[in-house]
Amino acid sequence: MSETAATRSADSSDSPGAPAVSVRWGILGTGLIAGLQTSDLVGHGFTVQAVGSRNLVTAREFAARFELPTAHGSYEALVNDPVVDVVYISSPHPFHYENALLALTAGKHVLVEKPFAMNEWQAQEIADLAASKGLVALEAMWTRYLPHMVRIRELIASGVLGEVRTLIADHNQNLPKDPEHRLNDPALGGGALLDLGIYPVSFAFDIFGAPATIRAAASMTVTGVDRQTAMIFEYGDGQQAVLHCALDTAGPNRAAVIGTGGSIDIDPVWYTPTGFTRYDDGGNVVERFDEPVTGRGMQYQAWEMERLVGAGATANDILPPSESVQVMAALDAVRSQIGLSYASDAR
């Protein structure tokens, strides 16, 4: 780093702190992601009231693990628990639609794991029901709320990058090859795109909004889901987002935002709490961003949910339900081009 470069860092005191309103959480599902979110909730002072599972034994084990007051043996019992205000939906994505509607119908706000649904029409119905009931339906794209992403949006808005022209982002992992694993099963929404590609696609929306055109190509598994998918999103003023995902090869998981006045190189793993380096248009380092994050970093999206509930709002500017619907429409367009369909596409 040059002697003139600015270095920005902070400790966890820069976080929003304790929840501002009294909101009681219910956890729908007991899988890996449910445990990660619940750990960050409990570890940061949120009130986690209950968990619901299709199996009461599993629910009780999860409740004991996190010292939660209540375990329910069905999702219906969880969403109808009068002591629960917000339901975090962590079921596999083929079930997000039905679980979100179940909770919203019961009058609960929902934080829905990404992808928001399986397709555009399901996402739109979730958004419409939430709006009709005055409830929050927030997609759990936790990356958008992380400190480094907040700073990147600030830099873009300030104009220091000039005209932002290009986003490059990948999400490649070496995941189970078992044909019966949900990632490889079309009946369970398998494939790289919805599990991994959702991250770079959502990032492109965060930077540029909805694309004017989409071009995509993929290689498929023997089970008929996408093994890897490459995408180019193009925009009205000539900007491009170059995106890639793969489920059977580990990759660098880096991302870059490139403008006429400079660029940002995000460290791996770009969609998790991390840092970045900003360069001017001559390639000189002008900022290094590092901000420690406690836990996994999923508490930031939960703080945002509680902020919305406390404010009586149903959407924010960072990721409103309307944009989650647009993201699903883009994923539908990609799937159409690569020949990937699911049973849920038929209404």
Its pTM stands at: 0.94
Q: What is the pLDDT of residues 268-314, one digit of tens each?
A: 999 999 999 999 999 999 999 999 999 999 999 999 999 999 999 99
Q: What is the pLDDT of residues 60-98, one digit of tens each?
A: 999 999 999 999 999 999 999 999 999 999 999 999 999
- Residue 124 makes CB contacts below 8 A (sequence gap 6+) with 325
CATH 3.40.50.720 region(s) of the chain? Answer: 17-142
CATH class of the region 147-292: alpha beta
Q: 17-142: what fold?
A: Rossmann fold (3.40.50)
Q: What is the mean pLDDT of the chain?
A: 94
- C-beta separation of 234 from 160 below 8 A: no
CATH 3.30.360.10 region(s) of the chain? Answer: 147-292
Confidence of residue 22 (pLDDT cuts 50, 70, 90): confident
Q: Nearest 5°: CA angle at 302, between 300 and 304?
A: 75
For the chain, how big is the Rg over CA atoms in Å?
20
Give Cα 82 to chain centroid, integer Å: 28
